[in-house]
Structure 1
Amino acid sequence: MTIAKGKVVQLTYTLRDEQGDVLETNEGSAPIAYLHGYNGMMVGIEKALEGKAEGDSFSVTLPASETYGERQADAEQRVSVKHLQGAKVWKPGMVAVVNTDQGQRQVTVLKVGKFMVTVDTNHPLAGRELTFDLTVAGVRDATEEEVAHGHAHGAGGHHH
C-alpha cells in the first residue's frame, strides 16, 4: 500500500541540523502516526512521503519554508512568567512551552523579569534547512472517524 491522502502513516525519523548533528529522533521507540493529506504533518515531509510504501527508508533535506517556517523578525512578545511550562527558573536561551489559541507552542526565552518574560515566538528551528532520515513503518487506510477528526488514532497517533 502506498502513501496517499486518507492513509494513516507510521514512521520513525531522525532530524539533523545543517552540520549533520542529531537534534531529535524516535529511533528505538514506537513510530509516530499521522493522517496523510490533512495538515497533520509538515508540508515538506508529506511531499517527500507521497507514494512511498511500508519499509521505505530515505533522507530528505528541506528548506525552512517546508518545515518550521522562516524566522519572523517581529516575533517578540512579553508574557507572564506563570504561563511558561518546562522549568521553575527561567534564563535567556531556554525553550519553554506556552498554551495558545492554536494549541501548545514552543518559544525561546530572551529576557527574564520578576513577573514578565520576553520570548521569541518563532519555533526554535525556524529559518533552518533540516535533514530528516525517514523510515515508513506502516501504511493503512484511515477509518471514517479518523478522517472526520482529521488525525490518526491509536498507536503513535491521537488518543481521545
Structure 2
Amino acid sequence: MRLEDVDWSAGRLWVITKGTGQRDPVPASPQAFAYTAAYLDQAGLPEPGGPIWRTRRGEPRQLTYWAMRRVIQRANAVLGTNYTLHDTRHTAATRMARDPSLTLVEVQTILRHAHLSTTARYTAVGLEDLMDKLAEHYQRPRQEVRWSQTYDPANVEAVFGAR
C-alpha cells in the first residue's frame, strides 16, 4: 500500500483484489487510519510511490506478506500461540457477519468475495453468543398464554355442541 492508496477524507483504502488483480476501494475504520497515522509519525513518510508499510529490522524495505508472516511467527513463538495473518481477516469477517447493522451483501462487498456463499460461512452462531441469548431467555418472566379474543359461549356451543 502506498500513500496514494489512502483516501484519508473518505475513509477508504485502495487495494489490489487477489482474484481479479483490480485496484478497488474498500472502507476502513477510523482506528485503522489512526494507527496508520501513528505508524507514519514514528516510521516517517515513505518516498514518493514507496510502500507505507516497511520492515523495522535491518535495512528498511517493503513489508511483504512473507515478512509480516515472519513477524507473526516470532510473536507466536513468544506467546505460545498459533495465529496467522489470515486469522485477522476471519475474525473481522465473523464480527461483521454477526453485526445486525450490516447485511451479508455489505460484508461480501467489504471482503470482496465473488460469491455470497463464501461470505455466508461466517454466519454460524457462536456458542458464547448462543449461551448469552439463552441466559437472557431464561431470565425473562414467563408470559401467560392468552387468547387474543373472547368468544361468545353461544357461538362455541353452536360449533362444538353442548357439553
TM-score norm. by structure 2 comes to: 0.24
More helix by share: 2
Q: Which has the larger radius of gyration?
A: 2
Q: Which has the higher contact order (CA 8 A, sep 6+)?
A: 1
More strand by share: 1
